C-alpha cells in the first residue's frame, strides 16, 4: 500500500482515466487490410495529444515518430495510427527487420487463441527456475537450421547487442588466451550499442565518447590481404573475429562469399573463434534461413562459423555456438515464442525475391541518374542515391508518400519487406518510391496530401433473413459468382439456413439482390474438407461461414463487410468463440482481406481442393480474447517473484487486450502506443525521489550498459565503474560481468578491470566509504563513470542502510561522481516501504540514477536532471523494451500499490529467521520486505537444501553460491509461508549436510 493516501488516490484516478481510454479485451477487431491513408494535411490530433502526455517535462527523449500506433488495427504491411481518420503507412522496413510476416502475424494470432501462449502470456515464467518447453523447442528448431557443428543454442534477454556480447563471452572462453582484450571487426560494421558491441561498431560517430581504452576493437578493411596482415601483426591481442555477412546499418553492403570464406579460413588459422552477426540478416531475410547458408556456406564444419547471433525477428537475442553457454540468464519467454513462430515460416520470405528484383531493376532503369547499385536478397533490398543530400530528401518524404523505411550508411535507402506482402502491395510501394524519387528536388514534396478517404458505401442496404421468395435469385447469383466446382447446391444452402443463419442483402431502393451470407455450427459440416480437420469440431464453439457472396456490380461498396459483420454479430450473440471458413487461395484476395480485417488468421492451408490441385485457406476469426486453456497451479514458488510478481496467471491480466501488442510488435525506440504512454504516465506518477526522466531498456544488463553510455557521454575521461562486493548487475554483457561479483560464475568472468569495494554491511560504513575515497585518490574522480550500489543485493541480500547511503552520496557529490542505486530486488513495492526501497531510506538521500529490472524484456533507468541526456536517438536499441512486458509491469504496479504487504513480510521474516536458526552457525538472513536471502556459509549445503525443497515442491532461488533467495509473489498468502513452505524448508535444512 502506498503510505501516502493522497498519492494512492492520485494513482486510482490515473487508473480510472486510463482504463476509460484502453481497449476492452473482447473488443471487436477492425484491422486495415487494404490501403494507405493520409489524413487531410497529415493531421494526427490523437497521436499528438498522446505524445505530449509522454514528453511533457522531458520525461523521455523526444524521439518517437509522430504517429502513435494502433496495434489492434495494424495488419500485414499496414501500420495504422490511433487517429480518426488514421494515417496508414506501408511499413516497408518491417519494424527494422523485426517482423517476418508483418503486423498481426497469423501464426502468433493462432498461438494466442489456441493455447500456445498459455504458459507465458499472463506472466513471464523464470526460465532459470523451471524448464521452459518454449525455449527447448526454439533451440531445437534453430539448431536444425544451423550450419554444421553448431550444436548449442542459448538465449539472452534483450536483442542483438546482448546476443553479440554473449557470443563474445563464449568466444573469449574458447579463444587461445582468455585474457585477451580485443575483437577484430570490419570497416562498415554495426554490432549494437552495449559497451563491447558498440566498441566493435566501426562508425566513430556512433562510438563517440564511449570507447574503452585498451579494449578497442581493431577495424580491418574489407579485404583479405589486409586481414591477413592485421592478423599477422596483432592476432595475439585478439580473442574473436566478428562480421555481418551483409552489413546492414553500414549501407546494405553484400559481402562476397569468397571474402567471407577467406575470413573463416584466416580466423581459423589464427585459432580465433568467428562470430557471424545475423541479427539483421537471419530468419529468412535473404530467403534462406541464414544469410551465411544463402551464400552456400556452412554445409560442412570447414565452412561453418563458430558462432552465429540473431535477434530482431528472433524476438530476443539468440546465440548458436559450437560451445555451450555456461551462464544462461532468464529471458522473456513470450518473446522467444513469437520468435519461434516467426522462424517456423521464415523461409516464405524467399518467394518475394523475384518480384522485388523485377520492380527494383525497373526502378533503377527509370532513374539512372539517381538510383545505383540496386541489390536484393529475399525480402531485403536497397539502392544508393548520389549523396547524403538526396538520401535525406528521400527519407524526408516517406510519410507524405505513405510508406516507412530507413536509410543506412552514407547514401543508401534500404527496405525490409515481410512475407505478407502481395504483388499489389509491391506495386503500390514501388509507385510511391518512384514518386519520391521524382520529387527529390520539390520543396513541397513533404507536404501531406489527403489519400484514402471514406469508402463508398451502399446508400440503402437492406439486410434481412432469407424467405422462400429469395431462393431463385440466390441460386442464380451463386452460379454466376463461382465456377461449378466451387458453387454450393441449393440443398446445401437450404440446410445451412435451417440449421443456422441465412441473410440476404438487397438494395433498399430497387430491391435488387446484392448478396447473401450463410453459416451454421461447424458440426453441420463434419464431412467437409477443412471443418473435418478442425480440432474444435464437436465442441460447439465454432460457427462455420459456409458462403458469403456479393454480386459483381455491388462489390467494393461495403456489402460484403456489412454481411460479414452481421454474421459475426450473430455468432457472438449465439455464444460462439470462433467463426471459421474457407477461401480459395488466389481467387479470393478481397474476401481474405475482408476476413482478416475482422481478425481472421490462417488456421490451415488445404491442398487439392475443389476437385483439383487448388489450395484453400481455412481461416478462423476469434470472437473472444485469449483465455488460458489450462489452470496453472500456483505451487510454492519462492524463486520466481521477480519475473512473476503476481504468480503465473494474475486474474487482472484477463481484462487487458494483449493480442495487438503481442502479435504486432513495434520497435518502441521509434513508436509509441496508447498502452506504452499509459505505462509511462504511471511511472511519472511514482518517479523515485530526485529523478525526473527515464530511459527504457530491454533487459537487466542493458540497464547498466545504457546508464554507462549516458554518463560516459558527459564524462569524457571516465572509464571505471565502481561496484560492491557481492553485487549483481547481470551476467550477460561485459560491463555487467565486470561489475557483478564473480563468485559462482565461470573463468574470466569480468572483461574490464573495474573495482568492487567492500559492502558497508560487511565492513561498516566508514571503511566502505574510505575504500571509495581510496579509489578516487588513486584514479581521480573524473576517471570514475559512476558508483553502482544495490539497495538490496539480489544475490547477497546485503542492504544499503540510510547511514551508508548518505555517506556514499556525500562523497560522490563532493567529487561530482554519479551515484546509481539498483532497485531490482526492492522496487515495485517489494521492499514494503512504498514503490521504491528508497522510500524507506532517509529523505535526504537522493541518488542520481535508479535502475530497475521489473522482469520480462524491460528495464527502467530513472535519472536526475544533472545527468539526463535528452538528445534523441542517442541511447536506443532496436526494441527499447517490449510492449507486452510494459503492460504486465503496469498492471503489477497498479495491483501492488493497493496491497497491504505487512502480514506477508512478517511471515517471510519469521520463515527466514527460523530457517537460519535451524542452519546454525554461519547462517545469515539478508534482504528486506518480500526479498529475503538465506546464507548457509556453505555452498554445498545450500545446494542440497535447494534440491530437497524442489523435490518436495518448494522452489527457492539462487543467490551467491552459499545463498538461497526467498522471493515470493507480492500477493503470497502468509499462511502458505507459515505452513507448507515452512515445513518443507525446515525439514530440508534438518536433513541437509554440509560439504
Ligand atoms: C547487425 C546488427 N547487429 C546488432 C544489432 C543490435 O541489435 P539490438 O538493437 O537488438 O541490440 C543490429 C541492430 O540494428 C544489427 O543490425
For the cut 50, the answer to whether the pLDDT of residue 509 exceeds it is: yes
Q: pLDDT value at position 458?
A: 84
Same domain, 911 and 830: no
Closest-lying ligand 1 atom to the alpha carbon of residue 249: 16
The Cβ of residue 270 has, within 10 Å, a number of other Cβ atoms equal to 17
The Cβ of residue 115 has, within 10 Å, a number of other Cβ atoms equal to 15
Q: pLDDT value at position 1?
A: 47
What is the mean pLDDT of the segment spanning 95-120?
Answer: 97
State the SS3 of 594-632.
HHHHCCCEEEEEEEEECCCCEEEEEEEEECCCCCCCCCC
Does some domain include residue 78?
no
Helix axes 423-438, 353-366, angle to 10 degrees: 20
Distance, CA of 177 to CA of 175 (rounded, Å): 5
Distance, CA of 702 to CA of 730 (rounded, Å): 9
| Å from CA of 981 to ligand 1 middle | 44
Cα dihedral 487, 491, 495, 496 in deg (nearest 10): 10
The Cβ of residue 374 has, within 10 Å, a number of other Cβ atoms equal to 18
Does some domain include residue 604?
yes
Q: pLDDT value at position 632?
A: 67
| Å from CA of 92 to ligand 1 middle | 18
Distance of CA 492 to the CA centre of its chain: 47
Q: Which segment of 101-105, 266-270, 869-873, 913-917 scores lowest on mean pLDDT?
A: 869-873
Closest-lying ligand 1 atom to the alpha carbon of residue 669: 9
Query: pLDDT tens digits for 700-721?
Result: 999 999 999 999 999 999 999 9
Same domain, 722 and 807: yes
- Ligand 1 pocket mutation pick from 96, 311, 669 by most atoms within 8 angstroms of CB: 311
**Phi and psi of 538, rounded to 5°?**
100, -10
Distance, CA of 395 to CA of 375 (rounded, Å): 19
| Å from CA of 433 to ligand 1 middle | 26
Q: Under the phi-then-psi rule, with left for phi > 0, alpha for psi from -120 to 50, and beta for the rest, what region is 937?
A: left
Query: pLDDT tens digits for 230-258?
Result: 999 999 999 999 999 999 999 999 999 99
Q: pLDDT value at position 994?
A: 66
Residue-averaged pLDDT of the chain:
96
Same domain, 479 and 599: yes
| Å from CA of 394 to ligand 1 middle | 24
What is the mean pLDDT of the segment spanning 946-964?
Answer: 98
What is the mean pLDDT of the segment spanning 980-991?
Answer: 98
Question: For atom 4 of ligand 1, which residue has the closest CA?
Answer: 191
Same domain, 906 and 839: no
- 780-819 in b/e form (b: 16+ CB < 10 A) is ebeebbbbbbbbbbbbbbbbbbebbbbbbbebbeeeebbb
Boundary (domain end) residue, out of 285, 313, 329: 329
For the cut 50, the answer to whether the pLDDT of residue 467 exceeds it is: yes
What confidence category does residue 590 fall into, taking pLDDT thresholds of 50, 70 and 90? confident
Does some domain include residue 942?
yes
| Å from CA of 814 to ligand 1 middle | 39
Closest-lying ligand 1 atom to the alpha carbon of residue 96: 14
- Write the DSSP string, 140-158: HHHHHHSPTT--EEEEESS
Does some domain include residue 833?
yes
CATH number at residue 828: 3.40.640.10
Does some domain include residue 291?
no
Same domain, 150 and 224: yes
Same domain, 845 and 910: no
Domain count, the chain: 4
Query: pLDDT tens digits for 627-655?
Result: 877 776 778 999 999 999 999 999 999 98
Give 445's contacts (C-beta < 8 A, 6+ positions apart): 393, 396, 397, 400, 436, 439
What confidence category does residue 810 fall into, taking pLDDT thresholds of 50, 70 and 90? very high
Minimal CA–CA distance to 828: which of 922, 905, 899?
Answer: 899
Distance, CA of 834 to CA of 11 (rounded, Å): 13
| Å from CA of 119 to ligand 1 middle | 28
What is the mean pLDDT of the segment spanning 143-164?
Answer: 98
Boundary (domain end) residue, out of 329, 346, 374: 329
Residue pair 309/277 in contact by the 8 Å Cβ criterion:
yes
Distance, CA of 640 to CA of 627 (rounded, Å): 22
Q: Which segment of 214-218, 588-592, 791-795, 841-845 scores lowest on mean pLDDT?
A: 588-592
Question: For atom 16 of ligand 1, which residue has the closest CA?
Answer: 280
Percentage of residues of the chain with pLDDT beyond 70: 99
Does some domain include residue 647?
no
Same domain, 140 and 258: yes
Query: pLDDT tens digits for 281-303?
Result: 999 999 999 999 999 999 999 99
Closest-lying ligand 1 atom to the alpha carbon of residue 311: 10
Same domain, 202 and 323: yes
Same domain, 932 and 844: no
Same domain, 792 and 720: yes
Ligand 1, pocket residues at CB < 6 Å: 159-161, 164, 190-192, 244, 248-249, 277, 279-280, 311, 877-878
The pairing of strands 614-622 and 578-584 is: antiparallel
| Å from CA of 806 to ligand 1 middle | 40
What is the mean pLDDT of the segment spanning 336-355?
Answer: 97
Question: For atom 13 of ligand 1, which residue has the closest CA?
Answer: 192
**Whole domain around residue 962: which residue ranges?**
902-991
Give 354's contacts (C-beta < 8 A, 6+ positions apart): none
Q: Is the dihedral of CA 759, 761, 764, 769 positive or negative?
A: positive
Boundary (domain end) residue, out of 832, 852, 872: 852
Distance, CA of 880 to CA of 889 (rounded, Å): 15
Closest-lying ligand 1 atom to the alpha carbon of residue 162: 11
Helix axes 388-401, 423-438, angle to 10 degrees: 130
Same domain, 828 and 911: no
881: cell is 523494451
The pairing of strands 246-247 and 274-277 is: unpaired
Any idea how long the chain is?
995
Q: pLDDT value at position 613?
A: 83
Same domain, 618 and 718: no
Q: Is the dihedral of CA 83, 89, 93, 97 positive or negative?
A: positive
Q: pLDDT value at position 3?
A: 64
CATH number at residue 916: 3.90.1150.10
Does some domain include residue 587?
yes
CATH number at residue 549: 3.40.630.30
Q: pLDDT value at position 584?
A: 80
**Phi and psi of 405, rounded to 5°?**
-155, 180
What is the mean pLDDT of the segment spanning 196-210?
Answer: 93
What is the mean pLDDT of the segment spanning 385-412?
Answer: 98
Q: ω into residue 398 within 30 of 0, thus cis?
A: no
CA distance to 186, 243, 880, per residue, from 203 (Å): 10, 14, 21
Closest-lying ligand 1 atom to the alpha carbon of residue 189: 1
Strand arrangement of the beta sheet that strand 636-638 belongs to: 636-638, 954-958, 963-966, 931-935, 924-928
Does some domain include residue 496?
yes
Query: pLDDT tens digits for 655-678?
Result: 899 999 999 999 999 999 999 999
Amino acid at each position: 500500500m502506498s503510505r501516502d493516501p493522497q498519492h494512492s488516490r492520485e494513482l486510482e484516478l490515473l487508473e480510472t482515466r486510463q482504463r476509460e481510454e484502453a481497449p476492452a479485451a473482447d473488443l471487436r477487431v477492425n484491422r486495415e487490410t487494404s490501403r494507405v491513408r493520409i489524413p487531410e494535411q497529415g493531421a494526427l490530433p490523437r497521436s499528438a495529444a498522446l505524445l505530449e502526455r509522454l514528453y511533457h517535462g522531458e520525461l523521455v527523449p523526444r524521439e518517437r515518430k509522430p504517429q502513435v500506433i494502433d496495434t489492434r488495427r495494424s495488419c500485414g504491411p499496414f501500420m495504422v495510427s490511433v487517429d480518426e481518420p488514421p494515417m496508414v503507412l506501408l511499413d516497408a522496413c518491417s519494424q527494422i527487420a523485426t517482423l517476418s510476416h508483418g503486423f498481426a502475424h497469423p501464426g502468433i494470432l493462432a498461438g494466442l487463441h489456441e493455447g500456445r501462449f498459455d504458459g507465458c502470456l499472463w506472466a513471464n515464467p523464470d526460465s532459470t527456475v523451471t524448464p521452459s518447453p518454449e525455449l527447448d523447442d526454439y533451440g531445437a528448431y534453430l539448431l536444425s537450421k544451423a550450419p554444421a557443428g553448431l550444436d548449442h543454442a542459448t538465449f539472452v534477454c534483450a536483442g542483438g547487442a546482448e546476443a553479440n556480447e554473449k557470443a563474445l563471452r563464449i568466444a573469449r572462453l574458447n579463444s587461445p588466451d582468455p585474457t585477451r582484450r580485443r575483437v577484430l571487426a570490419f570497416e562498415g560494421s554495426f554490432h549494437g550499442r552495449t559497451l563491447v558491441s558498440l566498441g566493435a561498431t566501426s562508425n566513430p560517430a556512433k562510438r563517440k565518447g564511449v570507447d574503452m581504452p585498451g579494449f578497442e576493437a581493431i577495424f580491418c578493411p574489407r579485404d583479405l590481404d589486409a586481414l591477413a596482415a592485421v592478423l599477422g601483426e596483432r592476432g595475439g591481442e585478439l580473442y574473436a573475429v566478428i562480421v555481418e555477412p551483409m552489413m546492414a546499418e553500414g549501407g546494405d553492403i553484400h559481402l562476397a562469399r569468397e571474402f567471407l570464406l577467406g575470413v573463416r579460413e584466416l580466423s581459423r588459422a589464427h585459432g580465433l573463434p568467428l562470430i557471424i552477426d545475423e541479427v539483421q540478416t537471419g530468419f529468412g531475410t535473404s530467403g534462406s534461413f541464414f544469410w551465411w547458408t544463402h551464400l552456400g556456406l556452412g554445409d560442412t564444419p570447414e565452412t561453418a562459423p563458430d558462432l552465429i547471433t540473431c535477434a530482431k525477428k528472433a524476438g530476443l537475442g539468440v546465440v548458436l555456438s559450437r560451445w555451450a553457454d555456461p551462464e544462461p540468464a532468464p529471458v522473456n519467454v513470450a518473446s522467444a515464442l513469437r520468435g519461434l513462430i516467426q522462424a517456423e515460416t521464415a523461409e516464405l520470405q524467399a518467394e518475394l525475391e523475384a518480384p522485388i528484383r523485377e520492380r527494383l531493376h525497373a526502378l533503377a532503369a527509370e532513374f539512372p541518374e539517381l538510383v545505383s547499385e540496386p541489390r536484393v536478397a529475399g525480402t531485403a533490398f536497397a539502392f544508393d542515391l548520389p549523396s547524403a543530400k538526396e538520401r535525406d530528401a528521400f527519407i524526408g518524404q516517406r510519410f507524405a508518400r505513405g510508406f516507412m523505411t530507413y536509410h543506412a550508411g552514407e547514401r543508401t535507402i534500404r527496405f525490409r519487406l515481410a512475407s505478407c506482402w502481395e504483388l499489389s502491395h509491391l506495386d503500390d510501394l514501388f509507385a510511391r518510391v518512384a514518386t519520391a524519387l521524382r520529387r527529390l528536388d520539390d520543396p513541397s514534396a513533404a507536404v501531406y496530401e489527403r489519400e484514402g478517404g471514406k469508402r463508398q458505401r451502399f446508400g440503402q442496404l437492406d439486410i434481412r433473413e432469407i424467405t422462400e421468395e429469395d431462393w431463385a435469385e440466390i441460386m442464380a447469383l451463386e452460379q454466376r459468382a463461382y465456377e461449378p466446382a466451387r458453387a454450393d447446391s441449393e440443398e446445401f444452402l437450404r440446410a445451412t439456413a435451417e440449421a443456422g443463419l441465412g441473410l440476404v442483402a438487397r438494395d433498399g431502393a430497387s430491391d435488387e439482390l446484392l448478396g447473401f451470407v450463410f453459416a451454421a455450427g461447424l458440426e453441420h459440416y463434419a464431412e467437409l474438407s477443412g471443418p473435418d480437420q478442425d480440432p474444435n469440431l464437436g465442441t460447439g464453439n465454432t460457427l462455420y461461414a459456409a458462403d458469403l457472396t456479393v454480386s459483381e456490380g455491388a462489390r467494393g461498396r461495403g456489402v460484403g463487410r456489412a454481411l460479414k459483420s452481421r454474421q459475426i454479430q450473430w455468432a457472438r450473440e449465439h455464444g460462439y468463440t470462433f467463426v471459421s471458413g474457407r477461401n480459395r487461395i488466389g481467387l479470393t484476395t478481397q474476401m481474405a482481406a475482408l476476413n482478416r480485417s475482422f481478425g481472421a488468421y490462417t488456421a490451415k492451408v488445404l491442398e487439392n481442393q475443389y476437385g483439383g490441385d487448388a489450395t484453400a485457406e481455412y481461416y478462423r476469426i476469434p470472437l473472444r480474447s485469449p483465455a488460458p486453456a489450462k489452470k496453472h497451479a500456483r505451487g510454492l514458488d519462492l524463486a520466481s517473484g521477480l519475473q512473476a510478481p503476481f504468480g503465473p496467471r494474475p486474474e487482472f491480466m484477463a481484462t487487458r487486450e494483449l493480442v495487438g501488442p503481442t502479435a504486432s510488435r513495434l520497435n518502441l525506440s521509434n513508436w509509441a502506443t496508447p498502452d506504452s504512454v499509459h505505462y509511462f504516465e504511471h511511472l511519472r506518477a511514482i518517479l523515485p525521489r530526485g529523478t525526473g526522466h527515464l530511459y527504457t531498456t530491454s533487459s537487466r544488463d542493458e540497464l547498466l550498459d545504457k546508464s554507462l553510455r549516458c554518463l560516459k557521454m558527459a564524462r569524457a575521461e571516465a572509464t571505471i565503474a565502481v561496484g560492491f562486493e557481492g553485487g549483481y548487475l547481470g551476467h550477460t554483457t561485459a560491463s555487467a560481468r565486470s561489475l557483478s561479483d564473480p563468485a559462482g560464475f565461470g573463468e574470466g568472468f569480468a572483461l574490464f578491470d573495474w573495482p568492487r569495494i567492500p559492502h558497508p554491511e560487511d565492513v561498516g560504513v566508514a571503511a566502505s566509504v574510505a575504500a571509495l575515497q581510496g579509489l578516487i585518490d588513486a584514479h581521480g574522480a573524473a576517471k570514475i563513470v559512476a558508483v553502482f550500489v544495490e539497495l538490496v543485493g539480489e544475490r547477497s541480500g546485503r542492504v544499503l542502510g540510510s547511514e551508508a547511503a548518505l555517506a556514499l552520496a556525500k562523497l560522490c557529490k563532493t567529487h561530482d561522481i554519479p551515484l546509481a542505486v539498483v532497485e531490482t530486488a526492492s522496487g515495485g513495492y517489494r521492499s514494503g516501504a512504498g514503490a521504491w526501497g528508497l522510500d524507506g531510506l532517509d529523505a535526504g538521500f537522493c541518488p542520481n540514477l535508479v535502475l530497475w529490472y521489473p522482469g520480462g524484456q524491460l528495464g527502467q533507468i530513472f535519472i536526475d536532471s544533472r545527468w539526463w541526456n535528452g538528445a534523441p536517438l542517442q541511447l536506443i536499441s532496436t526494441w527499447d523494451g517490449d510492449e507486452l512486458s510494459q503492460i504486465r509491469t503496469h498492471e503489477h504496479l497498479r495491483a501492488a500499490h493497493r496491497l497491504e504487504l505487512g502480514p506477508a513480510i512478517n511471515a517471510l521474516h519469521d520463515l527466514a529467521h527460523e530457517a537460519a536458526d535451524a542452519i546454525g552457525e554461519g547462517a545469515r538472513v539478508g534482504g528486506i520486505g518480500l526479498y529475503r536471502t538465506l546464507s548457509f556459509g556453505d555452498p554445498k549445503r545450500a545446494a542440497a537444501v535447494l534440491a530437497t525443497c524442489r523435490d518436495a515442491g518448494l522452489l527457492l532461488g539462487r543467490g551467491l553460491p552459499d545463498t538461497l533467495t526467498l522471493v515470493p509473489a507480492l500477493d503470497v498468502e502468509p499462511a502458505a509461508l507459515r505452513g507448507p513452505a515452512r515445513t518443507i524448508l525446515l525439514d530440508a535444512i534438518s536433513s541437509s549436510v554440509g560439504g
